[in-house]
Structure 1
Amino acid sequence: METIWIIGCGRFGRIALERLDSGKRITKFVVVEPEPEHFPQPRANVKIVRQDGVDFLKQNLAGQSAPDWIIPALPVHLAVLWLMADAEPVRIRRCEPPEGLEKRLPNPIYGHTGDIYISMADFMCPDNCPEPADYCPATGKKREQNLFERLEKLDVSEFEIKIIRSHQLAPGVGGYKPESLLELKQKVSQKPGKHLIATACRCHGVITPVYTQA
């Protein structure tokens, strides 16, 4: 049976559960959310965990119960917060981005914690986009390049680029394998210095500058 962790049960977490729990495949869901008023209605294949999402990943990700997919449905860069919380004995912290980075990114918006949200689109995309590989369904234009590929080609002095690709699991719903997080942790922990950590799909992403110290 496929297992999916949905970290966060706000609007996008509920959308993810609704679109993935379609009955077309047998799936077990673990929905992690600290606010009880956001919980979905109980059902046999949905387990509710009342806990902070980062704490849940820190306690459970490396165990035998790791899922097939993780869906980050929080307004934060989940991968980076987990890295900073679970990096002992290595210390990982946020740092200032390289000068002029935003000029090299598509439609950047700075979050209040220093994360940079980026998009290949300069308009509001529908939340049920099927993310086809060859064109944009909103504009009908040919897709010239995927965002995760564009980020891979960034050459930034003093910074290493590390990218987690978000794969589409349903229209408007993206997730990644737990192995992607564990591999990211290993690579960043073994390479002290500055990194740009990104999570991105074909069109949208978030990038965070961090500093790793052994």
Structure 2
Amino acid sequence: MSDVVTMRDVVVIGGGCYGTFYAAQLSKALTKGKARFRKVIVVDRDPRCRARLELGEAPERAFVESDWTAYFDAFLGEAAPARPGEPQDYIVPSPLMPHLMCEWVVRRARTRWPARAVAIAPVPGTLGTPYDRAAPAPDHTRYVSFADWICPTHCVEPAVCPAIGRPRTWEMSEAVAELAGRLRGAGEPVSGPALFVCRHHVFGVGTFAVDAVLAGDALVAAAGASGEPASVLIGTVSSCHGRPLPPMTPAERSAILRHARDLFNAGDYWLAHEALETVWRSIIREDEAAVWQGLIQAAAALLHRERGNDHGVEVVGGAALAKLGGPQRPDVEFDTVTFRAQLARALTGEGDPPRLEFRADDRPQPGS
């Protein structure tokens, strides 16, 4: 059996830190003969996104400047299931993206039935996972995870869990399917589930097939075809998590932030970058996430500065300054206004490296 992964087009959602990593890994897989595909398409509304600046255009890579919602309305609206024997299109999700595929399916349903009420409702029942939270109305997204620990960055969810060193005995898609079965057994008119399952595909890149999204849309169409009230359970999941990676607890966040501060101020920029990224991965709100991405890019720019990479300092440092601009956000514990001013001076060689410090009104208390 061939170990070469064959795809058609691969859509990478977002051209930031994660999208840059995924697009670069796919190019490496292509170069090393581990993957075959027609094109990697990076979708970001920023024409100067990190992936474009660092990777650039290539025969196997294209960039689309677009809002994700508008892009998928066009892309998925024109898509058709792959024919037997033909390679499929795939989507590489971002840990920070909203529930884009569910949103697309809902928009399709509202277009299909303009006179009917189509709404997202809370998911009833329990999955028995250690982490289980629901977003407030009108979102109602259910966030679940079998992990009650912080997972490694870019974990491929192997048979042996790297976080605990023991076999992975859980599978989220099975748990959601069992929940749907229990709901039907209790008399709930639930169809599905329609699951968009992200699996490790090649070189640390997880994907789900476009065909799975189209199948989910078809499932909704079939469930509502009679005109009677119907419910469809929809999820974007991996083996361990269900939409998206779970937010961390306040205590976990505080401990990681103190660790990140200590690493950064000691000049361990790479390790600080990793610690800050752990916090960034847990954030759902895009505007807050951008500030944390700016701090991560600041660490990367200072690492470039140490290594004498002037181009990296200019590109990544400029991106960091842009994301850290504006007033202090109350939901970001670090003093970003002072930090940005120090960073700007340091990147031009006019000052010492910036220090990452908590805001005066948000310093952790001793023992916290």
Q: Distance in 1 between matches of 2:42 and 2:122?
A: 33
| CA deviation after TM superposition for structure 1 residue 204, in Å | 1.4
TM-score w.r.t. the length of structure 1 is 0.82
Moved more, 1-10 or 188-197: 1-10
| CA deviation after TM superposition for structure 1 residue 72, in Å | 2.0
| Secondary structure class of the residue paired with 2:243 | strand
Q: Distance in 2 between matches of 1:111 and 1:171?
A: 33
| CA deviation after TM superposition for structure 1 residue 146, in Å | 1.1
Moved more, 62-71 or 109-118: 62-71
More strand by share: 1
| CA deviation after TM superposition for structure 1 residue 21, in Å | 1.9
Q: Which residue of 2 aligns with 1:196?
A: 233
Alignment of 1:1-214 (within 5 A): 2-22=8-28, 23-24=31-32, 25-27=35-37, 28-40=39-51, 41=53, 42-44=56-58, 45-61=60-76, 62-63=78-79, 68-73=89-94, 74-87=96-109, 88-90=111-113, 92-98=118-124, 101=125, 104-111=128-135, 113-132=139-158, 134-154=159-179, 155-156=182-183, 157-160=188-191, 161-170=193-202, 172-192=204-224, 193-206=230-243
String of CA shifts for 1:64-91, please: whole Å, max 9, x gaps: 7986211122421111111122332136
Q: Distance in 2 between matches of 1:64 and 1:55?
A: 18
Q: Which residue of 1 aligns with 2:304?
A: none
| Secondary structure class of the residue paired with 2:19 | helix
| Secondary structure class of the residue paired with 2:57 | coil
* Equivalent pair of 2:194/2:215 in contact (CA under 8 Å): no
| CA deviation after TM superposition for structure 1 residue 50, in Å | 0.8
| Secondary structure class of the residue paired with 1:4 | strand
Q: Distance in 2 between matches of 1:103 and 1:181?
A: 23
Q: Which runs of 5+ in 2 are unaligned?
A: 1-6, 83-87, 225-229, 245-368
Summarize the Cα distance change of 1:64–1:201 in structure 2 as closer, same or farther, 3 Å threshold. Answer: closer
* Equivalent pair of 1:130/1:171 in contact (CA under 8 Å): no
Q: Distance in 2 between matches of 1:105 and 1:158?
A: 24
Aligned residues: 204
Q: Distance in 1 between matches of 2:44 and 2:135?
A: 22
* Equivalent pair of 1:5/1:69 in contact (CA under 8 Å): yes
| CA deviation after TM superposition for structure 1 residue 43, in Å | 2.4
Q: Which runs of 5+ in 1 are unaligned?
A: 208-214
Summarize the Cα distance change of 1:65–1:196 in structure 2 as closer, same or farther, 3 Å threshold. Answer: closer
| Secondary structure class of the residue paired with 2:218 | helix
| CA deviation after TM superposition for structure 1 residue 199, in Å | 1.4
| CA deviation after TM superposition for structure 1 residue 39, in Å | 4.2
* Equivalent pair of 1:127/1:171 in contact (CA under 8 Å): no
* Equivalent pair of 2:146/2:170 in contact (CA under 8 Å): no
Moved more, 185-194 or 84-93: 84-93
Q: What fraction of aligned residue pairs are identical, expressed as a percent? A: 26
Q: Distance in 1 between matches of 2:130 and 2:173?
A: 12
Q: Distance in 1 between matches of 2:80 and 2:218?
A: 18
Task: State which structure, 1 or 2, has the greater radius of gyration over its C-alpha atoms.
Answer: 2
* Equivalent pair of 1:128/1:171 in contact (CA under 8 Å): no
Which structure would you say has the larger RCO, counting Cα contacts within 8 Å and 6 or more residues apart?
1
